[in-house]
């Protein structure tokens, strides 16, 4: 079942007499639980045509690194294999996606695209909608509730957003039926990148310039689903009590896979709900309410990636305390290399640079300390975004932008005023020590460093 609320027409072009329906895959890089793919198959069967799937990779994507691209290509290898089994041609090209889709759609009856929520994704879709000679339909499949259905405006906090989510949640928490294409498109000839050799592919894309160290996370739906099953069988029962303890391994590790659209949040939610565990409610709060609040932020706030995207009260209070004395001031190079006086912060920075993923609780502390150690709060905000986007596999997405913004007061309320932070929530090492075993966390990261020879 694909609810009408997930589907939006982006132009008023008539359906063409073409050879296939084109699914422009971009944000949702999977063949499982993908509403955009299933809608493409449905329309193709209706028109008695095959489906072709196109994906464009540009080496000009903001802040993308070889590590990000390797993880993505590992996922795309699975997509290629899975689509081939369903008789669907998968075309991957080294081209800016909004240009590539126009060329790929020259013989298409209509085009379907999934929904990324950043400015670059909206710009791509806007350009394509104008320049395509056939209809373009957007289908939201990387949220449980379509963003404009969840709320018609930017939400102030989780407290204002949560009731709106819960009101509509069960209407959208339904399985997606997998369709079979009535016609094969495997015979269609397109120029396509050979993604079987990732190192060679990165070189051809001119993204393989940096050295790729050993790395604990690998991309793809099957890896994501295996991690999810392990989480549900061994961890979720303790999630509500241990999720904010970085010294324990209590997280699902789904965020990198959600970032690249390699697994569906709806698929995750339904699997969680199929098991009776005490951690279900806490996990679904993070997966749906908090994650989709972040998407609400990037969808409705055009300044989500700048200082101006913060609440007015938080910008005002931080500027009022801009000249407050700081016990330490570090530059970007010192922070990037983890050369501060705070060994716990250094461990968090090391965790991120080694694994591509920092524990969520430590990311809050990490961002707060960058604010504390930087003379200008606006500079601190940009530095936090730069580091987060460079090293986090789930950086450069709504969760990443909202997570950094939270450290500076976004989706939070004013607290008691104090130096440097003003009315923005404060965190310190003493609070960490009361929450969890800091020494055990530092040892865990040092062991990780030894394991990967870094």
Q: Please tell me the predicted confidence (pLDDT) of residue 278.
A: 86
pLDDT band at 207 (very low <50, low <70, confident <90, very high): confident
pLDDT at 148 over 70: yes
d(CA 51, CA 181): 7
- What's the rounded mean pLDDT across residues 38-60? 97
pLDDT at 201 over 70: yes
pLDDT at 156 over 80: yes
pLDDT at 1 over 80: no
pLDDT at 34 over 60: yes
The mean-pLDDT minimum among 77-81, 141-145, 168-172, 215-219 falls in: 215-219
Cβ atoms of residues 150 and 144 within 8 Å: no
Question: What's CA 340's distance to the chain center, in Å?
Answer: 29
Percent of the chain with pLDDT over 90: 93
Q: At what angle do helices 398-407 and 360-372 cross, to 10 degrees?
A: 50
- What the block records as the tokens of 329 is 């001031």
d(CA 112, CA 10): 10
Question: What's CA 355's distance to the chain center, in Å?
Answer: 16
- What's the rounded mean pLDDT across residues 334-347? 97
Total Cβ atoms within 10 A of residue 194: 9
Pick from 115, 176, 118, 168: nearest CA to 141: 115
The mean-pLDDT minimum among 24-33, 382-391, 395-404, 445-454 falls in: 445-454
Pick from 174, 117, 114, 167: nearest CA to 144: 174
Q: Please tell me the predicted confidence (pLDDT) of residue 345.
A: 98
pLDDT at 310 over 70: yes
* Residue 198, C-beta contacts closer than 8 angstroms, at least 6 positions apart: 70, 73, 74, 77
Pick from 224, 277, 274: nearest CA to 252: 224
- What the block records as the tokens of 198 is 């990732």
pLDDT band at 209 (very low <50, low <70, confident <90, very high): low
* Residue 126, C-beta contacts closer than 8 angstroms, at least 6 positions apart: 10
pLDDT at 104 over 70: yes
Q: Please tell me the predicted confidence (pLDDT) of residue 208.
A: 60
pLDDT in tens, 342-400: 999 999 999 999 999 999 999 999 999 999 999 999 999 999 999 999 999 999 999 99
Domains of the chain: 1-141 (3.40.50.620), 143-174+221-300 (1.25.40.80), 305-451 (1.10.579.10)
Q: Please tell me the predicted confidence (pLDDT) of residue 277.
A: 84
d(CA 175, CA 15): 29
> CA–CA distance from 429 to each of 10, 334, 439 (Å)?
50, 19, 12
Cβ atoms of residues 35 and 141 within 8 Å: yes
The Cα angle at residue 222 between residues 244 and 33, in degrees rounded to 5: 90
- What's the rounded mean pLDDT across residues 130-138? 98
3-state secondary structure the chain: CCCHHHEEECCCCCCCCCCEEEEECCCCCCCCCCHHHHHHHHHHHHHCCCEEEEEEECCCCCCCCHHHHHHHHHHHHHHHHHHHHCCCEEEEEECCHHHHHHHHCCCEEEEEECCCCCHHHHHHHHHHHHHCCCCEEEECCCCCCCHHHHCCCCCCCHHHHHHHHHHHHHHHCCCCCCCCCCCCCCCCCCCCCCCCCHHHHHHHCCCCCCCCCCCCCCCCHHHHHHHHHHHHHHCHHHHHHHCCCCCCCCCCCCHHHHHCCCCCHHHHHHHHHCCCCCCHHHHHHHHHHHHHHHHHHHHHCCCCCCHHHCCHHHHHHHHHCCCCCCCCCCCHHHHHCCCCCCHHHHHHHHHHHHHCCCCHHHHHHHHHHHHHCCCCHHHHHHHHHHHHHHHCCCCCCHHHHHHHHHHCCCCCCCCCCECCCECCCCCCHHHHHHHCCHHHHHHHHHHHHHHCCC
Q: Please tell me the predicted confidence (pLDDT) of residue 211.
A: 63
pLDDT at 164 over 90: yes
pLDDT at 144 over 70: yes
Cβ atoms of residues 252 and 235 within 8 Å: yes
pLDDT band at 453 (very low <50, low <70, confident <90, very high): confident
pLDDT band at 451 (very low <50, low <70, confident <90, very high): confident
Mean pLDDT for the chain overall: 96
pLDDT band at 216 (very low <50, low <70, confident <90, very high): confident
């Amino acid at each position: 079942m694909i609810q009408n609320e997930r589907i939006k027409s982006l132009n008023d072009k008539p359906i063409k007499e073409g050879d296939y329906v084109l699914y422009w895959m971009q944000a949702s890089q999977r063949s499982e639980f993908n509403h955009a793919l299933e809608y493409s198959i449905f329309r193709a069967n209706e028109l008695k045509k095959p489906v072709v799937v196109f994906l464009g990779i540009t080496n000009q994507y903001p802040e993308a690194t070889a590590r990000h691209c390797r993880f993505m290509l590992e996922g795309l290898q699975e997509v290629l294999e899975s689509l081939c089994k369903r008789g669907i041609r998968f075309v991957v090209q080294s081209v800016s996606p909004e240009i590539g889709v126009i060329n790929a759609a020259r013989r298409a009856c209509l085009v379907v695209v999934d929904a990324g929520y950043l400015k670059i994704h909206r710009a791509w879709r806007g350009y394509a909608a104008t320049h395509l000679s056939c209809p373009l339909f957007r289908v939201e499949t990387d949220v449980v509730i379509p963003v404009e259905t969840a709320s018609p405006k930017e939400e102030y906090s989780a407290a204002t957003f949560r009731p709106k989510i819960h009101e509509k949640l069960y209407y959208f928490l339904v399985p997606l039926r997998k369709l079979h294409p009535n016609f094969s498109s495997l015979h269609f000839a397109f120029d396509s990148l050979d993604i079987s050799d990732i190192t060679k592919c990165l070189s051809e894309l001119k993204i393989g310039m940096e050295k790729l160290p050993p790395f604990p996370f690998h991309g793809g739906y099957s890896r994501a689903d295996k991690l999810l099953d392990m989480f549900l069988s061994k961890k979720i029962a303790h999630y509500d009590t241990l999720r904010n303890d970085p010294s324990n391994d209590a997280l699902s590790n789904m965020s990198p896979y959600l970032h690249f659209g390699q697994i569906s949040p709806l698929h995750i939610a339904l699997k969680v709900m199929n098991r009776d565990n005490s951690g279900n409610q806490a996990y679904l709060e993070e997966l749906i309410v908090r994650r989709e609040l972040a998407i609400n932020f990037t969808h409705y706030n055009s300044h989500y990636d700048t200082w101006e995207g913060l609440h007015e009260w938080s910008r005002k209070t931080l500027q009022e305390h801009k000249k407050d004395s700081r016990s330490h001031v570090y530059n970007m190079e010192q922070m990037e290399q983890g050369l501060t006086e705070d060994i716990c912060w250094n461990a968090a920075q090391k965790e991120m640079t080694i694994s591509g993923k920092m524990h969520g609780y430590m990311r809050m502390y990490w961002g707060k300390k960058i604010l504390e150690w930087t003379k200008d709060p606006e500079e601190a905000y940009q530095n936090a975004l730069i580091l987060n986007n460079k090293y986090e596999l789930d950086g450069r997405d709504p969760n990443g932008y909202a997570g950094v913004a939270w450290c500076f007061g976004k989706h939070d309320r004013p607290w008691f005023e104090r130096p440097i932070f003003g009315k923005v929530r404060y965190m310190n090492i003493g609070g960490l020590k009361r929450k969890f075993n800091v020494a055990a966390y530092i040892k865990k990261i040092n062991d990780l460093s030894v394991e990967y020879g870094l």
